Chain A
Amino acid sequence: MPQTVESTAVAPPVAPVGAGGDVIIQTRGLAKIYRPAFARVGKTALEELTFDVRRGEIFGLVGPNGSGKTTTLKLLLGLIRPSKGSIEIFGRGPRDVAVKKRIGFLPDGPYFYDHLNSYEVLDFYGKLFGYSKAERAQRTPALLDAVGLNPADRSRVIRTYSKGMLQRVGLAQALINDPEILFLDEPTTGLDPIGARAMKDSIVKQRDQGKTVLVCSHLLADVQAICDRVAILSEGRLVKFGTVPELVGPSQRFEIYTEGINEAALQRAAQQSYAYEQENGRIRFLADSSEKLDEILGFVRDSKGRTVDVKGYSETLEDVFVRSVRSDGR
């Protein structure tokens, strides 16, 4: 059962969250302090981050700007070194070349060599993995097909590409080695709705093929739609963690639309403190729990009224996120 770390905890979590299962990424007490040269005091970007990522899941890392999610990603990729704590990916350090052979990375707003075309860019990344000419000739067009890059655009140099096309090439280069773990930084940012949808479908497809995906994003609707588990960071600390249903919980708010409720019944409703509003000739009752919902439905039946519609509302990840971040405000 995954643990949920509440932001109210005074001390940072010591036990790893998300432990259990086939863990392939493990961080323990990870901290990063950026200290400019000759400065005595540094800026803490991340403190005591401990979590596990399991094989075959889509793991979301969310947080406001400056919360430490990109720092976490850079630490996991070995682009920066931790000030404290440890990282293990497949049981090895993140700068280990053997690890890099098994991962793929799509950076936020990917940039490539301007003067190359998409085919040359992918060929270059294929060579870095030591693939033979025949392997590259087979992989490159297949990947460009898979990410939906129009064949007519492939011979154009990268600097003429739109953001969406760059993002497609970015995903293709991240997949060139058929990685076991895919790190995606803001994969849907800047994409049009169709492009964003295609990207989300690609991510889910990767998970369905057995890959592990770690998504870093501030687009919470996207994270809620595709992630299995989510870690919310705020000011460099992990403030909430869990599966999406655990975080957002079941429906907590209901609207009951009714007809045929007379004045006397409405007076009784007021006496029983039911919240209601008149709307287009209908009465809309509001219930803040499933018990209250049952009670109101019984009341409508007893009052000879008719229930015409019941709508349930649950929290969104955005609600949880805003609440977590606000309550963490230090």
Chain B
Amino acid sequence: MVATPATRPVGRDERIDVPAAWRIKQFIAIGLIVLLSYYYNTVGWQGPPDETGPATKTLFDQVGFIILAGLVWLTTPTAGVIAMTTFQEAVRRRWMSALLAFAVIMLSLSTFFTWMQPGEEEKFLRDFGIGFIVIITLLMAIFLGASLVPPEIERRTIFTILSKPVNRLEFLIGKFMGLCLTLFLNLLFMSAMFLLSYAIFKVRREGWAGAMAIDINADHLGLRFDLANMGRALMLNYGQLTIMAALSLMLSLIVSHITAIVFCFIAYFGGQTSSYWEHLSGSGEGEKHAAEHLRGPVQGVVKALYFMLPRLDRFDVRERLVTDLPIAFNYMWKAFGSGLVYVAVLLTISYLIFSDREF
């Protein structure tokens, strides 16, 4: 009989030994997050001119830092390998390439559509470009998120992966990280295309000096402001995408692929209107009058829905863009902080479902 070391206690049988070199990198990354958190708690984020000063510190923000550090800690080399393969697989999908090509063509040609709103060309461009990118990347997040794990089970590729030294948490985190990377690079590519088109349009129209000039009285904040503001709006869109990707992943583990996609769209529209739900449930400050119309169980249901839905309207700042209002970093972090908490909850539920899933 072979020498039998003591069997590990239940629950520790999937422990992964992470190489020391990788752990050092993780400690460095977590150290940076700690420094960031320290800066946030002492100095505060510096926003654009009209929104300077320290951010209001909320519990969500603090939990956001902890979750960010937790995600870094859970991303083992194996999760990294799975993430990279997920990315590789995703970008080679034909529909992904087609969607990206379509988006790039549309964004490149967006300046030709400005005749639709003479006199409002710039605003039209901003609204169209950002809106188009939001829709395309949202489709990518939902469809890719819903097809992260179920096809692996249906096609049994998961058998060969989980029979290797991979635990289920690493698998799930790896798949999610791979999707986040895919979405990030797609968003980056589309954003670069769009911002370049916008800059060219502006410079051709106003000349370099004119485009860069700032005249607050004439409501002309300059190309640099426009690009920075749109860049921030696109970064906020990324927060929304990660939430939708995590939601789509979680739902795909509970219901069928199609149902998950349908629920995701419902959650998206629900989330985009979360301020309305807040109003209806009487949860918001100064909104008590609305609660008078909803009482008893109906109010309870609306309240539950409000707390369950992701606050996606925080990530949608197109109105501010069109009206040339700056998007403060303070505001962005608040949205990201609460978004991170929501993603962490979704990933935890996903893991609880997936950890004892039988194939």
**Which residues of A approach B to under 8 Å, CB–CB?**
22-24, 55, 74, 77-81, 88, 90-93, 95-97, 100-101, 103-105, 107, 109-116, 120, 124-125, 127-130, 170, 173, 177, 183
Contacts and interface: CB of A to CB of B under 8 A. Distances in A.
A179 B130 CA distance: 52
A110 B158 CA distance: 10
Contacts of A101: 165
A78 B7 contact: no
A310 B221 CA distance: 105
Contacts of B89: 113-116
B5 A91 contact: yes
Interface stretch (B13-21, B54-62, B236-244, B339-347): B13-21
B289 interface: no
A237 to B, nearest CB: 21
B2 A107 contact: no
26 contacts: A22-B1, A22-B2, A23-B2, A55-B2, A79-B163, A81-B356, A88-B4, A88-B7, A90-B2, A91-B3, A91-B4, A92-B5, A93-B7, A95-B167, A97-B166, A105-B163, A107-B156, A109-B156, A110-B156, A111-B156, A115-B92, A116-B88, A120-B88, A128-B78, A128-B164, A177-B164
Given A24-B2, A79-B358, A88-B7, A95 B159 contact: no
B256 to A, nearest CB: 15
A74 B359 contact: yes
A93 B81 CA distance: 25
B8 A105 contact: no
Given A78-B162, A96-B8, A124 B85 contact: yes
B235 to A, nearest CB: 29
B284 interface: no
B202 to A, nearest CB: 39
Contact of A97 (B5, B88, B167): B167
B160 interface: yes
Q: Would you list the 6 A-B pairs with minimal beta carbon distance, nearest first?
A: A91-B4, A115-B92, A105-B163, A127-B81, A80-B358, A128-B164
B68 to A, nearest CB: 25
B160 A95 contact: no
Contacts of A109: 156
Interface of B: 1-5, 7-8, 13-17, 19, 77-78, 81-82, 85, 88-89, 92-93, 155-157, 159-167, 356, 358-359
A92 B165 contact: no
Contacts of B85: 113, 116, 124
Given A101-B165, A128-B81, A107 B14 contact: no
A124 B7 contact: no
Given A100-B163, A101-B165, A115 B4 contact: no
B8 A92 contact: yes
A110 B155 CA distance: 9
Contacts of A177: 164
Contacts of A80: 358-359
B13 A100 contact: no
Contacts of B156: 107, 109-111
Contacts of B358: 74, 79-81
Contacts of B88: 115-116, 120
A81 B307 CA distance: 35
Given A91-B5, A113-B85, A173-B160, A79 B359 contact: yes
B359 A130 contact: no
Contacts of A125: 160, 164
Contact of A130 (B3, B4, B77, B161): B77
Contacts of B167: 95, 97
Given A96-B13, A113-B89, A124-B81, A77 B2 contact: no
A115 B157 contact: no
A90 B6 CA distance: 11
Contacts of A124: 81, 85
Looking at B1, B4, B8, which has the most chain A CB atoms within 10 Å of its CB? B1
Contacts of A120: 88
Contacts of A130: 19, 77-78, 165
Contacts of B93: 115
A92 B13 contact: yes
A79 to B, nearest CB: 5
A23 B93 CA distance: 46
Given A81-B356, A97-B167, A124-B81, A111 B4 contact: no
Contacts of A79: 159, 162-163, 358-359
Nearest to B90: A115
A113 B157 contact: yes
Contacts of B160: 105, 107, 110, 112, 125, 170, 173
Contacts of A183: 163
Contacts of A115: 88-89, 92-93
B2 to A, nearest CB: 5
Given A22-B2, A110-B160, A128 B166 contact: yes
Contacts of A24: 2
Given A92-B7, A128-B78, A105 B2 contact: no
Nearest to A98: B165
B13 A91 contact: no
Looking at B3, B81, B161, which has the most chain A CB atoms within 10 Å of its CB? B81
Nearest to A86: B7
Given A22-B1, A74-B359, A183-B163, 9 more contacts: A23-B1, A24-B2, A55-B2, A80-B359, A81-B358, A91-B2, A97-B13, A97-B16, A129-B165
B147 to A, nearest CB: 12
A95 B161 contact: no
A109 B155 CA distance: 10
Looking at B15, B88, B164, which has the most chain A CB atoms within 10 Å of its CB? B164
Contacts of B82: 128
A112 B13 CA distance: 26
